[in-house]
Amino acid sequence: MFRLKRRSDYLGVAKAGRRFAAPGVVVQVRRRGGDGDSGGIRYGITASRKVGKAVVRNRVRRRLRAAAEAVLPRLAADGYDYVLIGRAATVDRPFGALLNDLELALQRLRAWRGPRSHHDKTVERR
C-alpha cells in the first residue's frame, strides 16, 4: 500500500465521481489505468476544518489511517486509488463501526476483492 501525497492525485480521485458516504467516513474511489500503473493500492486521508480544530482533525486522521491499514490490504482491490474523508462523527464512532463503514463503502463502490454479488456475504456486520 502506498500513500497519496500530491494534490493532483486527490483531485483526480474526487473528479472520478465515485463516492460513498457512511456515518463515519466518506470514501472516494478511482480506478487507475492506461498509464501502466495499475498495480498496488494507493490511499489518502483528509479531514477539513468542518470536522473540528487541529487536535480533532489529527485524531480523525489517525483513526482513519488505522482503519485503512486494517481493512484495505485485506479487502481493497489492486489498481485503485482510495481517498478517505473524515467526518465529525469519525471522532466518536466506535472503531469496529468505523471498520464496518469502510468495508461497506468498498462493497458499494465495487472496489474490493470480496464476492461481487450482494447475496454472498463474507463480511460480518456485528
Model pLDDT for residues 95-104, shown as the tens digit of each residue: 999 999 999 9
Instruction: Give the C-alpha separation, 5 to 9, whole Å.
Output: 7
Q: Is there a domain that residue 124 lies in?
A: no
Element (H, E) at 27: strand 25-31
What pTM was computed for the model? Answer: 0.84
Q: Is residue 116 part of a domain?
A: no
Q: Where are the alpha helices (DSSP H) in 1-126?
A: 7-16, 54-75, 95-108
Q: Is residue 120 part of a domain?
A: no
pLDDT in tens, 52-72: 999 999 999 999 999 999 999
Residue 81: HSE in the Cβ half-sphere, 13 Å Cα cutoff: 23
- The CATH number given to whatever domain includes residue 26 is 3.30.230.10
Chain-centroid distance, C-alpha 70: 11
Residue 117, in any domain of the structure? no
In a domain? residue 29: yes
Range of the domain at 64: 2-108
